[in-house]
Amino acid sequence: MLHFHLSKNLEKDLAQHIAPSAVAALHPQHWYLQKITVLRRKCVIAMEEKSRYAMVFCGLTKAEFAHFPGIFQERLWREAMWVCELDDDHNARLSDLVLNTSQLQAYAIGSDRSVQAHLKDAIWRFEGDVDDVGRLPETREDHFIAGLRINDTIRTIRGSKTYIVPAEQFRAGWLRQLGIAVE
């Protein structure tokens, strides 16, 4: 199950998905979502709590917000498949794992100061990249590349003395769930 923690400015756009949730600690993945406006278009930056992996959703319309759970599930599946790059047998297992994990989704208003700091940094990086290019990402690949630029940034989590790279942590998390040794 995925638990989404929405910023207050995203509450109205995803109001139809917000419902009282089961105990949040039981959710295997917590994602923090922040809405921003870039080039006069609504964009959402989603960041996973443990890995700090970010996904970028650009130019969302009212209809897309209505179908956001499916859009997120498809994007999570695609990005996990791209980032993990496994053989056919493991790809099939990963595909099942991602789809099963993201089938149930809970949405609530909330934030975490540590994740919020990383989200602000990701937003700053994304806005700078858009300024450089002069347009928002348009294709699936463009969205993935925009996220990858954010996810290749070295980060620290809650005062840890070690640094992480979100893309590597995201990959390692899925591989551990599959029982595959992480390099």
Please give the domain boundaries of the chain with CATH numbers for all domains. 2-178 (3.30.420)
How many Å apart are CA 127 and CA 44, to the nearest integer? 12
How many Å apart are CA 121 and CA 152, to the nearest integer? 13
**48-81 confidence digits (pLDDT tens):** 999 999 999 999 999 999 999 999 999 999 999 9
Supply the pTM of this predicted model: 0.93
The pLDDT value recorded for residue 160 is 77
Residue ranges, the chain, pLDDT below 50: none
The pLDDT value recorded for residue 181 is 87
The pLDDT value recorded for residue 25 is 53
The pLDDT value recorded for residue 158 is 74
Where do we find the tokens 């990959």? 171
Residue 136: other Cβ atoms inside 10 A: 19
The pLDDT value recorded for residue 156 is 85
The pLDDT value recorded for residue 28 is 79
The pLDDT value recorded for residue 23 is 53
Find the radius of gyration of the CA atoms of the chain: 16
